[in-house]
Amino acid sequence: MRVPGRGYGSFPGGSSIRLGPPGPVPPVVKNLLIAGACAYVLQLLVGRAVLWRYFALFPGEVLQGEVWRLGTYLFLHGGIMHLALNSLFLWMFGSELEQRWGSRFFLKYYLVCGVGAGLFDVLTLMSHSHVTVGASGAIYGVLMAYGMWFPNREVWVFAIFPVKVRYLVVFLIALSFFQAVESSGDGIAHAAHLGGLIVGYLYLRWWGASGLGIASMPGPRDLKRAYLRWRFRRLQRKRTRGGPTLH
């Protein structure tokens, strides 16, 4: 995806397109990228099975008290492409959020989304044999935040066609929900993805208002008002097109 926009990551006249945000990588995003890469190298050195045995997210073990897995699973990945995609999305969408929010709040938000996604996974599966690794739940929370802050930004999907971020987030929510319900067994933690989206929205909407202007973000009442305004304008257009009626 390629992200055009203004402000941090801006482009003169809004006409050019760039892969991701410009400028240096902010400190928390950079350290998270380094931590993920180091954990993957450690997996290669000592064996994936060894690290996963003690640090991956097994719902059964978490329910038995091994709660540290809700944080450590975020830094383990199933393969180089898994790590690369999560790292790409974290850099593309997390960098601007950290610049806007500050490093402390961004790190707290990232970890809250990651742990919340893990809890969602545990509570929906509750299986000793199922295992979840990767930062995707936290990344989905970052995507939710980006969509809430920059709803009209456009991303170029597959570098072919532009889609506004708000529509992308709605699509991801619907996709994660239906795939989580289906439990298709495709090896993807759809419940964790959905959990990251939901926890991210709730955290920003109700608990993250520490000077970030969260109150201006859209909520259910805002959506209802927008829908009523749309209905009113639609009725006005119909009356205008119809013109006066003579009897």
DSSP 73-125: GGG--SSHHHHHHHHHHIIIIIHHHHHHH-HHHHHHHHHHHHHHHHHHHHHHH
Over the stretch 128-162, which tens digit does the pLDDT of each residue have? 567 889 898 999 999 889 888 888 877 776 667 78
Lowest mean pLDDT among 3-7, 114-118, 142-146: 3-7
Domain extent listing, the chain: 12-219
Distances in Å between the alpha carbon of 22 and those of 17, 19, 25, 84, 86? 11, 8, 8, 19, 19
Over the stretch 64-99, which tens digit does the pLDDT of each residue have? 889 999 999 999 998 898 899 899 889 988 998 999
73 CB-near residues (< 8 Å, 6+ apart): 55, 56, 57, 118, 132, 133, 134
* Residues with a known catalytic role: 136, 193
Q: Measure the CA–CA gap between 173 and 40, rounded to whole angstroms.
A: 28
CATH H-level superfamily of 12-219:
Rhomboid-like (1.20.1540.10)
Q: Pick from 203, 183, 189: which is nearest to 135 by CA?
A: 189
102 CB-near residues (< 8 Å, 6+ apart): none
Lowest mean pLDDT among 38-47, 132-141, 191-200, 224-233: 224-233
Helix axes 80-89, 136-149, angle to 10 degrees: 20
pLDDT of 232 > 60? The answer is: yes
